Amino acid sequence: MSLATGYTWTHKNIKLVGYSMAGICTSVVFPDADTCFDVGPGLPFQIPVSNILITHGHMDHASGLPYLIGQKAMTGQTPPTVYMPEALLNPMQQMMRLWEGIEDHTYQYQFRTVPHDVERPLKAPYFFKTFPTYHRVPSQGYTIFERKKRLKPEYKDLGPRELGDLRRQGTVPDEHYDEALVSFTGDTKIEFLDSAQVRQSRVIVMEVTYWDSKKSVENARTWGHIHIDELIPRLDEIKSEKIVLIHASARYSSNQLRAIIDARIPEHFKHRVDLFPRPS
């Protein structure tokens, strides 16, 4: 595992690959949906991915976009589709034009914005919606959903032969439903938790930048970040199977962070809180 390959985190059928350290790099790929949340400074593990979801324009989350677009072109891949907050669209297009001038080469890419609560497709059967986040610059989070199929409740006791008969008669015994799989916050204050789609996601990948009393809650809020002291009282609102913490400062070692989780997270919640893997 390294910065180039990313670190892998898994929970049941959900696998994520990425790297996150405040001020250095934040980028997490969800390979099943062919989707990458943020791109950090641009890293090799992101190159095969087709859909890029940018949370905000800080360099440790978004500066790698020209690199990634360039690498995908160089390896003959389909140009990526990149979603971002509306305020970023013009500056990012200007940046690409400048870089195209530097390289004397024209790149293909799709930059898009999307309002909250509007679905946009990813690799089927996945799609996403944005949710509000609260940072120092325009920002948004993303929830990836899976569209699934199940038998309608009135048919759930039928056997395969009876269901076959029904289908032959033209009755559709199934219904579609959507499962919120992974929500990714990027950088934000704790108020992102006001969004129900996030609290109900099976996995929340969320930032906690400040982990001890060397920085106050006030300090975290001033910089548009989360202090662990603000997360703990709100844990009971979260229905997720796993809460995966990213974006800790490089000042902390992974062992220090795990010790803080062990000491501070209430016992009944501990099995649901993970540190996203990172260098020791």
> Which phi and psi (to 5°) does residue 206 adopt?
-130, 155
Nearer to Zn ion, 146 or 187 (CB): 187
**Listed ranges 3-11, 172-180, 182-190, 192-200: which one lies at the site for Zn ion (CB under 5 A):** 182-190
Asked if 38 touches Zn ion (CB under 5 A), the answer is no
Minimum distance of Zn ion from residue 78's CB (angstroms): 29
Q: Which of residues 54-73 bind Zn ion (CB under 5 A)?
A: 58, 60
* Residue of 38, 146, 187, 230 interacting with Zn ion (CB under 5 A): 187
Compute the CA torsion angle 66, 68, 71, 76 (nearest 10 deg): -110
Identify the H or E element spanning 218. Answer: helix 217-222
> Residue written as tokens 């062990």?
262
Binding mask 107-146 for Zn ion (x = CB under 5 A): ----------------------------------------
Minimum distance of Zn ion from residue 57's CB (angstroms): 8
Give Cα separations from 8 to 11, 18, 122, 218 (angstroms). Answer: 10, 7, 21, 33
Whole-angstrom distance, CA of residue 121 vs CA of residue 33? 10
**Listed ranges 53-61, 67-75, 142-150, 197-205: which one lies at the site for Zn ion (CB under 5 A):** 53-61
Number of alpha helices (DSSP H) and beta strands (DSSP E) in the chain: 8, 14
Nearer to Zn ion, 32 or 60 (CB): 60
Nearer to Zn ion, 32 or 187 (CB): 187
Compute the CA torsion angle 28, 274, 184, 31 (nearest 10 deg): 40
Minimum distance of Zn ion from residue 245's CB (angstroms): 13
Footprint on this chain of Zn ion (rule: CB under 5 A): 58, 60, 187
